[in-house]
C-alpha cells in the first residue's frame, strides 16, 4: 500500500470502545461465510463504538463547508480473510443522511440513518441514538461513560491492542470481497466505565452476553486516513 495514495482524512473524537466476549459459533450466522471469525483466547468479540467524526475531507480538497462532521455508532467484530485481519461492521448508525447514502452506495457498508446526541457532562459523556432508517426497526441505544485512568498506549499482545489496532475493514459488495485499508497512529486509550441504559443494537444475539459489564476504553482523538478499497475475492 502506497501511504501517499489515501483518499479521505477523518478525525475520530470522543470515541468509546465497549467489548464483550461472544462464542464464535453464536456469532457465525451473522458473518459472511467467506470470512474467518478472529478470536483471542478462544473467544470472538463484539463491540459497540460511539464517537464523533469530524474534519472529514477528501485528498487535495479543503474540509467541506457543511456536512464535515457527524455522530456514528457502530457494531463490529473481528475477522480474517486469507489470514489478513480486520474489522467487520454488522451495522453503522450515523446522523448524516447524505453520508449514509454515499457509504451504502459507494462502499457497500451497512450504514443506517439515526437520530443521535452526544453530550459532555460534568463526569463524562452521554450518548443517545434512535434508528430512523426506512424499513429498519427503531433500535435505541442510551448510555453514559466516564474515564477511570490516564491515557496509555496498549501493549502489543494484550487483548485491548488486539481489539483496537486494526488497519483494515472487510466488506462484501455484490458477492465480491473488498478490503478498505486505514492508516493511523496507535490509539491512546483510557480505561472507562459504561452505564448502558438501553441497548437494542445487538438484539440478534442472546441477551445473556450483555449481562456482564463491557471492557470499556475511551480515546479523545485520532487522525485517520482512508485508502481506496481493494478487491480481494
DSSP string spanning the chain? Answer: --TT---EEEEEEEEEEEEEEE-HHHHGGGS-TTSEEP-BTTBEEEEEEEEEEEEEEETTSPPPSSS--EEEEEEEEEEEETTEEEEEEEEEEES-HHHHHHIIIII---EEEEEEEEEE-SSSEEEEEEE--TTS---EEEEEEEE-S--EEPPTTSHHHHHH---EEEEEETTEEEEEEEEEPPPEEEEEEEEEEEE-TTTTS-GGGGGSPPEEEEEEEEEEEE---EE--
Superfamily holding 8-231: Acetoacetate decarboxylase-like (2.40.400.10)
Does the pLDDT value for residue 4 go beyond 80? no
Does the pLDDT value for residue 202 go beyond 60? yes
Does the pLDDT value for residue 65 go beyond 70? no
Across the chain, what does the average pLDDT equal?
A: 94
Q: How confident is the model at residue 14 (pLDDT cuts 50, 70, 90)?
A: very high
- Mean predicted confidence (pLDDT) in 133-144: 95
Domain ranges in the chain? Answer: 8-231
Q: How confident is the model at residue 64 (pLDDT cuts 50, 70, 90)?
A: low
- Mean predicted confidence (pLDDT) in 12-38: 98
Confidence (pLDDT) at 56: 81
Considering the entire predicted model, what is its pTM? Answer: 0.94
Amino acid at each position: 500500500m502506497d501511504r501517499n495514495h489515501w483518499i479521505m482524512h477523518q478525525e475520530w473524537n470522543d470515541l468509546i470502545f465497549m467489548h464483550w466476549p461472544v462464542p464464535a459459533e453464536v456469532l457465525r450466522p451473522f458473518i459472511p461465510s467467506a470470512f474467518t471469525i478472529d478470536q483471542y483466547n478462544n473467544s470472538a468479540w463484539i463491540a459497540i463504538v460511539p464517537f464523533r467524526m469530524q474534519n472529514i475531507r477528501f485528498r487535495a480538497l479543503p474540509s467541506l463547508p457543511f456536512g464535515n462532521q457527524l455522530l456514528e455508532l457502530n457494531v463490529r467484530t473481528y475477522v480474517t480473510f486469507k489470514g489478513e485481519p480486520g474489522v467487520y461492521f454488522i451495522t453503522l448508525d450515523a446522523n448524516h443522511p447524505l453520508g449514509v447514502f454515499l457509504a451504502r452506495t459507494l462502499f457497500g457498508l451497512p450504514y443506517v440513518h439515526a437520530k443521535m446526541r452526544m453530550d459532555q457532562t460534568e463526569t463524562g459523556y452521554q450518548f443517545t441514538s434512535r434508528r430512523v432508517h426506512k424499513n429498519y426497526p427503531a433500535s435505541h441505544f442510551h448510555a453514559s461513560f466516564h474515564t477511570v485512568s490516564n491515557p496509555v498506549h496498549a501493549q502489543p499482545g494484550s487483548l485491548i491492542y488486539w481489539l483496537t489496532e486494526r488497519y483494515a475493514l472487510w466488506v462484501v459488495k455484490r458477492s465480491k470481497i473488498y478490503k478498505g485499508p486505514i492508516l493511523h497512529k496507535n490509539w491512546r486509550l483510557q480505561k472507562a466505565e459504561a452505564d448502558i441504559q438501553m441497548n437494542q443494537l445487538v438484539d440478534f444475539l442472546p441477551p445473556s452476553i450483555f449481562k456482564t459489564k463491557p471492557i470499556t476504553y475511551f480515546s479523545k482523538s485520532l487522525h485517520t486516513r482512508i485508502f481506496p478499497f481493494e478487491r480481494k475475492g
